[in-house]
Amino acid sequence: MSVQITKRLFTVTEYYQMAQAGILSEDDRVELLEGEIIEMSPISSRHASCVSRLNYVLQSRVQDRAIVSVQNPVRLSEHSEPQPDLTLLRPRADFYGVAHPQPQDVLLLVEVCETSTHFDRRVKLPLYAKAGIPEVWLVDLTQQQIEVYRSPSQQGYSQIQTFVRGQSLTVETLPEIELNPEEILG
């Protein structure tokens, strides 16, 4: 006789109820991905520095054309609410005070990876594509490159480009914003 094991997946609402009940604390480094609570890797100084550089550069370039959001949730679905390293969001007067941004609010999503590259490529990128996030940058600190993913579908991203030092890249929805990998990688 075989035993069938099923997972109990959580909704975003239940995830927040766990925080309200004290099961999860504000200091827990976790994300809800496809109904599962996933512990995130610790943030190294190199990772934090890269996120700070991105924030600094993008804040000065986007001005009032987008909101730069750092390590804040994006609600992809009823069962997924990751906290990407940085997002550029459509401007809104309430700065998303009523509810976390959803896929249609995201202009650019950035994940910085050092030890989580495989996980980001295998788990997060497909989720972002299925949700319709138009553009994702994977800043790979180990390889010193920026992978740009565009044209999302249920099967993944159909356009993938890699940028290294000496090249320049733009945000597809804000093409006037041009960056050099050196500004991001340090």
Q: What pLDDT score was predicted for residue 27? A: 87
The structural domains of the chain, ordered by start, are: 42-185 (3.90.1570.10)
pLDDT cut 70: percent of the chain above it: 99
Strand residue runs (E) in the chain:
30-33, 36-39, 67-70, 86-89, 106-113, 135-140, 145-153, 156-163, 169-171, 174-179
Residue 22 exposed, middle or buried by CB count within 10 Å (0-12, 13-18, 19+) = exposed
Using the predicted structure, report yes or no on whether residue 89 has a pLDDT greater than 80.
yes
Using the predicted structure, report yes or no on whether residue 3 has a pLDDT greater than 90.
no
Q: What pLDDT band is residue 147 in, cutting at 50, 70 and 90?
A: very high
Residues 63-76, mean pLDDT to the nearest whole number: 96
Measure Cα distances from 92 to 18, 21, 106, 171 in Å: 29, 31, 12, 19
- Please provide the average confidence, as pLDDT, over all residues in the chain: 95
Tokens for 147?
A: 């992978």
Residue 57 CB contacts under 8 Å (≥ 6 apart), including other chains: 179, 183, 184
The answer to whether residues 82 and 73 touch, using CB atoms and an 8 Å cutoff, is: yes
Q: What pLDDT score was predicted for residue 1? A: 66
- Could you read off the pLDDT of 96-134 as tens digits, one per residue? 999 999 999 999 999 999 988 999 999 999 999 999 999
Instruction: Return the closest-CA partner of residue 55 out of 147, 47, 131, 43.
Output: 47
- Match 């004290």 to its residue by tokens: 22
- Could you read off the pLDDT of 8-59 as tens digits, one per residue? 899 999 999 999 999 999 889 999 999 999 999 889 999 999 999 999 999 9
